[in-house]
Copies of this chain bind each other. A is one copy, B any other.
Amino acid sequence: MQLLTNNVCAPKGFRAAGKCAGIKKSGKLDLAVIFSEAPANAAAVYTSNKVKGAPLLVTKKHLENGKAQAIVINSGIANVCTGKKGIDDAEETAKIAAKELGLMQDEIVVASTGLIGACLPMDKIRIGLKGIKSELSVNSNAAKAIMTTDTAEKGIAVKAGNFTIGGIAKGSGMIHPNMATMLCFITTDAEFSPKKLNSFLKNSVSKSFNMMSVDMDTSTSDMAVILANGLAGKADEAKFRNALDFMCIELAKKIARDGEGATKLVEVEAKNAATRYDAEQIAKSVVSSNLVKCALFGNDPNWGRIMCAIGNSPAKFKENSIDVYFGSMLIVKNGTAADFSFDEARKLMGKKEIRITIDAKQGKESATAYGCDMTYEYIKINARYTT
């Protein structure tokens, strides 16, 4: 695999734009369009939250036939809890974009991220989309225009064999806050049926974004979409899935590292669990624990909290078989304290990237979860948002 620039525009036939339409009060970029020259097969996965944003409902309907040719995304306002008007606004956004791009309304995917409960300023969106086709380029600001509390843009592209995959994502980390919806848009010039794309995407998301913890505050607007225009022709399935996995995991790590208020990226691997489910649940429970996250912020090797989090997961395990490592340092052996240097452990925890490994010694399955620490800044960001 080879890393390329230009994220979603790296595959053949894709162009994009990112601009300021005045939706955000800050005057930052807030409107993005991704466009494929050729018709594309498409698939998407959506949030598990039962309160779903209007753009998700509209996109789901538009993707029923497995086809789409453009994506319109706005940041600043999420268009959630907006009733029938929200649906109408999302449909109108698609209609305006379709007209500008010479497509059918149901060939447009729409997505929004930002404040819940407010309606989209349709006048601004109408003006923003006017003449958008001429603004499309292969070197766009789309990744920037979908950011909310993100502090860095998140994009990646890889070439593997005859095809290329590109992706952009936004989201401020592991807790999926409601103003920091996780969105991911992937483009490729490989040719696959909507059914295949759907299965590949689900699988990759299960190892990446869905391992970024926390269900508790899963957004109403989370969405990952893939468009495949087939301009590079048929591609090797295993190679494609491998490249898609790599890209989704890299984007998930970018999101976790940029978690609200985060000072460090945390990877928790649960290995040698009896089942993959057990491994996933152990890793997610540890990476999601507020107490573990606070200890990580404070460089505090308080391993009891890790054991507590493991115990709170629905996984099956044997307490007296659990080993825990910080990096390569053994901290817990067979469920009780190992003989380790407290000062050395603190030093390890002071790094910008921390790896915790939990060895369940019950089987052969493993899973890795991605997260960050919990800091004063998290409270600051979230105590004042609408105000």
A interface residue numbers (CB < 8 A to B) = 49-52, 78, 80-83, 115-118, 175, 177-178, 215-220, 285, 288-291, 294-295, 297-305, 307-312, 317, 319-320, 332, 334-337, 346, 374-376, 378-380, 382-387
Contacts and interface: CB of A to CB of B under 8 A. Distances in A.
A180 to B, nearest CB: 10
28 contacts: A50-B311, A51-B307, A51-B335, A80-B304, A81-B336, A83-B320, A83-B334, A83-B336, A116-B308, A117-B336, A117-B337, A175-B291, A178-B304, A216-B216, A216-B285, A216-B288, A217-B305, A218-B308, A291-B382, A294-B382, A295-B383, A295-B385, A298-B384, A298-B385, A299-B387, A301-B386, A302-B385, A374-B379
A217 B51 contact: no
A255 to B, nearest CB: 17
Contacts of A383: 294-295, 297-298, 300
Given A116-B305, A289-B217, A49 B311 contact: yes
Given A294-B382, A311-B49, A117 B304 contact: yes
Contacts of A81: 304, 307, 319, 332, 335-337
A252 to B, nearest CB: 20
Contacts of A300: 383-387
A116 B304 contact: yes
Contacts of A177: 291
B312 A49 contact: yes
A82 B375 CA distance: 30
B217 A309 contact: yes
4 cross-chain pairs, A with B, having the tightest CB-CB distances, nearest first? A116-B304, A298-B383, A51-B311, A294-B382
A333 to B, nearest CB: 10
A311 B382 CA distance: 19
Nearest to A298: B383
A291 B288 CA distance: 14
Given A216-B312, A298-B383, 16 more contacts: A49-B311, A50-B312, A51-B310, A78-B304, A81-B332, A82-B336, A83-B320, A116-B305, A216-B216, A216-B285, A216-B288, A217-B312, A291-B382, A298-B382, A298-B384, A300-B384
Nearest to A218: B312
Contacts of A335: 51, 81, 83
Contacts of A304: 78, 80-81, 115-117, 178, 220
B308 A50 contact: no
A260 to B, nearest CB: 10
Q: Which of A78, A307, A312, A376: most chain B CB closer than 10 A? A: A312
A387 B116 contact: no
Contact of A217 (B291, B298, B386): B291
